[in-house]
Structure 1
Amino acid sequence: MIRTDLHEGWTLRADGGPVPAGIAGVAVPAVVPGTVHTDLLAAGLIPDPYDGMNEAELVWAHRASWRYDTTVTATPAAADERIDLVFDGLDTVAAVEMDNTLLGRTANMHRGYRFDVRRLITGAAVPLTVRFSSALSYAEQMQRQLGERPRAYGHPFNAVRKMACSFGWDWGPDLQTAGIWRPVRLERWRVARLAEVRPLATLDDDGRTGRLAVHVSVERSGFGAAGELLVSVTVGDRPAVALRLAADADEGVVEVAVPDAAVWWPAGYGAQPLSTVTVELHDGDGAALDAYTKKVGFRSVRLDETPDADGTRFALVVNGRPVFVKGLNWIPEDHLLTRLTRADYAAAVDRAVEANANLLRIWGGGIYEADDFYDVCDERGILVWQDFLLACAAYAEEEPLRTEILAEARDNIVRLSSHASLAIWNGGNENIWGHEDWNWKSRLGDATWGARYYYEDFPALLAELDPTRPYHPGSPSSPGFDPEVVHPNDAAHGTRHEWDAWNREDYTWHDRNVPRFCSEFGWQAPPTWSTLTAALSDGDLHQGSPAFLLHQKADDGNGKLNRGLAHHVRVPEDFADWHWATQLNQARATTYAVQHLRSHAPRTMGSILWQLNDCWPVTSWAVVDGSGRRKPAWYALRRAYAPRLLGFVQRDGVPVLAVVNDTDTPWLASVRLRHADFAGVVHAEERIDISVPPRSVQVASVTLSDLVVADADGLRATHLSAEDFAIPYDPNALSATASAAEGGYSVTVTASSFAHDIALLADRVAPDAVVDDLLIDLLPGESHTFTVTTTADVDPKRFLDPEVLRTCLTA
């Protein structure tokens, strides 16, 4: 097999539709893999779609058509040789032509395509053209053909196999990209090639013996007589294991036992050793034909759904050990997907690791992520929950949509099955829930809506291709129950999405339910100041500006932010104060919800916060904004997801102290409890000795006062008996000093009175500045030093500015 990338020499030009005069007829260099938007941006023909009102100014692109052109020069095929043109991804509705010959049409960005072009390769420069037509127009055509089906947003994203959030979401822009978005190449081969390789690595119940089943499918060239083929599989430095495929056989399985295998564990449970698997294909005479290399990790994973007194358990069990999932939902890291590099993926995943997370859920309105993403998760020990890509809509089960959905599912099960991090497949996002609760049934009548995918097709594909991992029909859902009898969002069974807190109530609403596993919940806040001000002009920095509202996609988002604030603090009129107050409220909401969920383990066995990341600068539920900057909520989450946690939670309407030990060793400590007034003056003190077994939770009753401060082993939890707007904080509670330090700056604050949620918003001083911690509580006489990392050379006193050094008082 000889593979030759075809990434050079492409040009892009408009091919129809309402294209502005300055772009129509202009050919620009095209980066492949890439998209139309990035090429036009690089050529200076469109403004940055993430800035100001530019998203709205690019709506014309929804109806535009485009063409990519290059030439291919290659040696003609030998008599027994195949030459294939291979596209790993085309976004989305495309026609592929070589030498003015139509090779095929595509309508799915989530799968690859292969065309036999041996007869078109002449040795001369042969033109290759890919024409992209409007995905929106195609979706509307499919909607007319298949019948309209309910969905969460206006565009018919459920009628075309394109990233759903391409059409806009309640956190994302409506840009509707097009382009050759994944690699393209020529593949020259003889006799046979490896068409599918699925290395499924597991671990025996003894916890020591690894099992590798390498499923191999081959495609034969069709030239000459079919002969015997030899497949050899090597695992690490172990001797190769061979499989002979007879002349009439195109598939087989190589099984390898690995005694005393190095076991792969999720983060927080052990190490992540990986073994290299090499698969080689030879003809009957021993000549090399093709090869495949991947890394695998030996582990077992199952889903415990045992009925119990509280309903039905929902717990991931890895290598025989139940894992409390400390997760985050993942959306595409950049709406313009092709700008992402392995370094970008590593940085994003590392922000989850640093927040003490152990799982990322790939949400069903995005993409099957790049190989780099899963590789990084394998290396870091981050479990992956993989949705099939159906989200917030009813999906037709008729052709041509059905074939496309099943083809993309098959392609990606095969592609991803080697990854140790991949722990669970999920049928889709909120579709079963939507069918029950969102007034779909009256609109659908007898029309199909996707149930066959969730309950029949996906399980059947996984039984065939990847029986080593559990499957869940939908998030949320209550598996094993008729959705009309047991609600898909029932807290007692399966998975739950908790959105009443944000949409209608307050973050304290979480106390109303104890879910078995909460796979979505969250609270909004704007991006960091540097990210916001890079995207908006000074005149747009107010809640009602059109540009700010364009970067707030949630229905009544600002209204919900303000109503959420009003439960706890006075809603500021000054925009900078409001920005800080909403960020602080997001952090507190995050802490409150996560502590609630963790305190109920093992009844509750999972918390997947919505969401880790953003794909552009926007007010959203993310704890890391679209520029990769950590919002205050990220620091709150890091503390709430820490291996050991002290936190005040509610039991029967009464605050109690939860002590969570998510480590493999007992936690023996003495908790110091101080009772004080709102000024922080301590009037009583006591100690509680704790002995919390590994992976366990204890809850202790405490005497209540205006202010209760609990300390143990460097951890602190604080409980206040009143909301901030009712507490007479001392406006001069803090004194502070700042000085230059190695790699940045050091800021020390000292409290003369109780100071709550002290934060240093370092990016307001320097856009690259990162502070080591946030949201610190101090009693009178206590000090804390913040460490700021930055390359900027600034006056240290700038870190003492009241819009940089914040407490809850200024909210």
Structure 2
Amino acid sequence: MIRSELHSGWTVRAAGGPVPEDIAAETVAATVPGTVHTDLLDAELIPDPYLGENETRLAWFHRAAWLYSTRFEAGPPAGDERVDLVFEGLDTVATITLDGDEVGRTANMHRSYRFDVRDRLRGGEAELSVRFDSALEYAEQLQKVIGERPRPYPHPFNAVRKMACSFGWDWGPDLQTAGIWKPVRLERWRTARLASVRPLAILDPDGTGRLTVHVDVEHAGLGADRPVVAEVRVGSHVARIPLRAGETSGTTGIAVPDAPVWWPVGYGDQPLVEVQVTLWDEAEQLDAWAGRVGFRTITVDETPDEIGSPFTFVVNGQPIFVLGLNWIPEDHLLTRLNRETYRAAIERAVEAGANLLRIWGGGIYESDDFYDVCDERGILVWQDFPLACAAYAEEEPLRSEILAEARENVARLTPHPSLALWNGGNENIWGHEDWDWKPALNGLSWGARYYYEDFPALLAELDPTRPYHPGSPSSPGHDPEVIHPNDDRYGTRHEWEAWNRQDYTYHANFLPRFCSEFGWQAPPTWSTLRESLAPEDFDQESPAFLLHQKAAGGNDKLNRGIARHLPVPVEFQAWHWAAQLNQVRATSYAIEHLRGHAPRTMGSILWQLNDCWPVTSWAVVDGAGRRKPAWYALRRSYAPRLLSFRDGGLVAVNDTAAAWRGTVRLRRAGFDGAVLASSEVELDVPARSVRISALAAELTTPADGTREVLVADADGLRATRLFAEDFDLAYDPDALSADISPAEGGYSITVTATSFVRDVAVLADKIDPSAVVDDMLVDLLAGESHTFHVRTVWTDSGGFLEPGVVCSANTLAAEDLAAEGLADAAED
């Protein structure tokens, strides 16, 4: 097998559609893999679509066509040689020609394509072209044939197999990319090749690892097929799969006694074992494959109980409380992502305490780089099939495309021990029941066959070692018209009523078995706003700011949420902090509620970890990769041990392998530091358990709820409970002093409180966009100090002490007082 990458010499030019004249006249160098947007950016022909109102200015892309071309040297094939042109990914509606002859057409971003071009290569230089037509226009035409189906956004993303959020989402831009987005190569081979290798690794209870390797072979078909042998090596273990002439598949099993055990992060190590498969024709090596596996067994416990049915991940016999994050594409322009980008993003999830990432169904089947890093870091992966928030036709040509992409990607991802669950799609079953689809469908198919028949059958064939869930949310095993798919007693639940219409305290009304989506919005960090908006756009109502707020009524929901708990500032910088702080509170409240009800609840997957561009969203890490304050709240709420208050009691969560024994010091203190009541509670929380301790009334009953706080301290952890909302609390707005001194890698900032100060933070990115702070959201009693460490190369230390950089909830009290003073002055 000789593989030759075809990544050089490409150009791209407009081939049709409403392309501006100055761009239509240009032929520019193209990067492959790549996309037209990035090529035109590199050629300085378009503005950055992430900045200002540029997204709107580039809407003409939606109906444009593009032509990629290159030339390459291709010797004529030998008499017994097959030559294949292989595209790992084309985005999306493409026509491929070689020396002017059409080779094939594609309409699916989520799969690869292979074309036999043996008879088309004549020797010498060959010209390869790929024309991309508008995916939007393709979808519009196809839905006229198969019938229009419900969806939440104007573009018919559900009528073409392209990343759904390419067409815009309630956090993402509408850019509709096109291009050769994955590698392309020429493959020359003889006799046979490895078409697919599927290693399935599990772990027996006695510690024996069992590896079953499935091999699919394609024969060259240029004469009499010959027998071949696939040799499988796992460490010192070797097995052979003999395939007779014309036989296309075979299987072997290998037992590995005392196999190294792969565990999720927080439960053990992540040893990975090399697997090599070599295809032989007698003594000649025809093809080879190499990958890594991890020995573990993953199931989901859905055994009916007195409540309904749980949804509990079990790894190697150990129930796991999932501390998860939803994952969207890390960059809307996917071809800018690489292994290091993925590693940095996943590391931010690990540092926040997560043990699972859910790849949401409006994105893509993620890259091998993503899964490799998750394998190494012990992050479980929940992979949605890419079907999201819409009805999907079960007729051709979509049906064949969906099944082909599913088959290919299931096979591709089988080696990865991190892959924990396949999920049929996002909110499609729920949508069918609740979103007025049925009258609109009027009997048309909507995707049920995929979720209940096709995907389970395909997984039973290709990967029976992993659990499958028909949809998130859903109540598996029950008719959705009888047991609602979002019923908190069964399966998985999404909690969006809190954000959309209620308040984050609404979470207390439900005890889901597993909550796979919930969240609260906030703007990105200040420096990310500064990089993406002009100074005059720092206004909630500016067109540019609103273009970077994609949720329907998003700012109104932000302000309504703030107003329930905090002063709502008028000045933009203070409003920005209030919105971020309310996301902090919402994140902590929801997660503490879920974790505090284990084992009834056994999963929390926050929406969302990341953003794909600079936007106001539910992410805890913004589109520039900067941690929002909510990331620090998440890290505290996802810590292995957690203290919180609930209903007059103290909740202690111990998600470690050792019992948690110690003493909790409890105080009801005045903001001035006076201790008004105190006691101690002895902790004895078994491993992987939750304990609730009742508290005496003298601790939970304030004399003046506006000036008192209940505090619990144990083993370096602190929980605080206030007795009124922030806007009613008698915060001292000047209770904090700060000093700064040089430290290794940056600076140390020590803050000291003269009165109770809540949620102290250092927003260091306002001074240095690359600065990272070790901690945020610290509550201090009168007389206490805390030191923050800022990692930065900034040489002017004074800026880090400026107002708006060192801030707290008390800061908003000062803003509220200033606003009241202005109002009084206006009345006078």
TM-score range, shorter chain: over 0.9
Partner of 1:138: 138
* Structure 2 residue 360 is the aligned partner of structure 1 residue 360: no
Contact 2:92/2:109 (8 A) holds in 1:
yes
Partner of 1:657: 650
Aligned mates of 1:790, 1:184 — CA distance in 2: 41
User: 1:532-583: CA deviations, max 9, x gaps?
Assistant: 1100000000000000000000000000000000010110000000000100
Aligned mates of 1:117, 1:735 — CA distance in 2: 73
Aligned mates of 2:181, 2:785 — CA distance in 1: 52
Aligned mates of 2:778, 2:310 — CA distance in 1: 36
Partner of 1:693: 686
Contact 1:364/1:428 (8 A) holds in 2:
yes
Show the 5 A alignment for 1:104-119: 104-119=104-119
Contact 2:428/2:471 (8 A) holds in 1:
yes
Aligned mates of 2:371, 2:716 — CA distance in 1: 35
User: 1:385-421: CA deviations, max 9, x gaps?
Assistant: 0000000000000000100000000010011111000
Partner of 2:210: 211
Contact 1:28/1:40 (8 A) holds in 2:
yes
Contact 1:82/1:190 (8 A) holds in 2:
yes
Show the 5 A alignment for 1:388-399: 388-399=385-396
Aligned mates of 2:120, 2:419 — CA distance in 1: 40
Partner of 1:798: 799
The one-letter code matched in structure 1 to 2:162 is K
Deviation at 1:797, TM superposition (A): 2.1
Partner of 2:809: 808
Partner of 1:618: 615
* Structure 2 residue 440 is the aligned partner of structure 1 residue 447: no
The one-letter code matched in structure 2 to 1:732 is D
* Structure 2 residue 777 is the aligned partner of structure 1 residue 775: yes
* Structure 2 residue 44 is the aligned partner of structure 1 residue 44: yes
Aligned mates of 1:655, 1:416 — CA distance in 2: 47
Partner of 2:58: 58
Partner of 1:121: 121
User: 1:498-533: CA deviations, max 9, x gaps?
Assistant: 001100011000000000000000000000000011
Show the 5 A alignment for 1:266-665: 266-283=264-281, 285-649=282-646, 654-665=647-658
Point out the more displaced range, 249-258 or 614-623: 249-258
Secondary structure of the residue aligned to 2:531 is helix
Contact 1:159/1:401 (8 A) holds in 2:
yes
Aligned mates of 2:525, 2:733 — CA distance in 1: 25
Deviation at 1:805, TM superposition (A): 0.5
The one-letter code matched in structure 2 to 1:265 is W
Deviation at 1:442, TM superposition (A): 1.0
Contact 1:598/1:660 (8 A) holds in 2:
yes
* Structure 2 residue 166 is the aligned partner of structure 1 residue 166: yes
Deviation at 1:72, TM superposition (A): 2.1
Contact 1:230/1:286 (8 A) holds in 2:
no
Show the 5 A alignment for 1:193-232: 193-206=193-206, 208-232=207-231
Partner of 1:76: 76
Aligned mates of 1:520, 1:708 — CA distance in 2: 31
User: 1:623-664: CA deviations, max 9, x gaps?
Assistant: 000000000000000000000001123xxxx23211000000
Aligned mates of 1:293, 1:128 — CA distance in 2: 30
**CA root-mean-square deviation:** 0.7
Deviation at 1:677, TM superposition (A): 2.3
The one-letter code matched in structure 2 to 1:692 is V
User: 1:365-388: CA deviations, max 9, x gaps?
Assistant: 000111100000000000000000
Partner of 2:262: 264
Secondary structure of the residue aligned to 2:661 is strand
Contact 2:673/2:783 (8 A) holds in 1:
no
Deviation at 1:792, TM superposition (A): 1.9
2:764 corresponds, among 762, 765, 773, to: 762
Q: TM-score, normalization: structure 1?
A: 0.98
Partner of 2:152: 152
Aligned mates of 2:799, 2:691 — CA distance in 1: 44
Aligned mates of 1:462, 1:735 — CA distance in 2: 60
Partner of 1:707: 709
Deviation at 1:681, TM superposition (A): 2.4
Deviation at 1:676, TM superposition (A): 1.2
Aligned mates of 2:770, 2:612 — CA distance in 1: 19
Partner of 2:248: 250
Deviation at 1:228, TM superposition (A): 1.1
Aligned mates of 1:483, 1:801 — CA distance in 2: 55
Aligned mates of 1:784, 1:160 — CA distance in 2: 54
Contact 1:612/1:622 (8 A) holds in 2:
yes
The one-letter code matched in structure 1 to 2:228 is L
The one-letter code matched in structure 2 to 1:787 is H
Secondary structure of the residue aligned to 1:105 is strand
Aligned mates of 1:494, 1:105 — CA distance in 2: 41
Deviation at 1:25, TM superposition (A): 2.6
Secondary structure of the residue aligned to 2:247 is coil
Secondary structure of the residue aligned to 2:748 is strand
Deviation at 1:700, TM superposition (A): 1.3
User: 1:711-735: CA deviations, max 9, x gaps?
Assistant: 0000000000101000111122111
Instruction: Could you tell me which runs of 5 or more consecutive residues in structure 1 were left unpaired when the two chains were aligned.
Output: none
Deviation at 1:697, TM superposition (A): 0.3
Contact 2:669/2:677 (8 A) holds in 1:
yes
The one-letter code matched in structure 1 to 2:253 is E
Aligned mates of 1:699, 1:514 — CA distance in 2: 16
Contact 2:195/2:217 (8 A) holds in 1:
yes
Aligned mates of 2:476, 2:38 — CA distance in 1: 43
User: 1:276-309: CA deviations, max 9, x gaps?
Assistant: 00000001x2210000000000000001001111
What is the percentage of aligned positions where both structures have the same residue? 67
Show the 5 A alignment for 1:674-693: 674-693=667-686
Contact 1:519/1:609 (8 A) holds in 2:
yes
Deviation at 1:123, TM superposition (A): 2.4
Aligned mates of 1:680, 1:250 — CA distance in 2: 77
Contact 1:15/1:67 (8 A) holds in 2:
yes
Contact 2:355/2:378 (8 A) holds in 1:
yes
Partner of 1:183: 183
Q: TM-score, normalization: structure 2?
A: 0.96
Show the 5 A alignment for 1:706-745: 706-745=708-747
Instruction: Could you tell me which runs of 5 or more consecutive residues in structure 2 were left unpaired when the two chains were aligned.
Output: 703-707, 813-828
Partner of 2:20: 20
Secondary structure of the residue aligned to 1:240 is strand
Contact 1:679/1:753 (8 A) holds in 2:
yes
Contact 1:679/1:730 (8 A) holds in 2:
no
Secondary structure of the residue aligned to 1:307 is coil
Aligned mates of 1:244, 1:311 — CA distance in 2: 49
Aligned mates of 1:502, 1:656 — CA distance in 2: 26
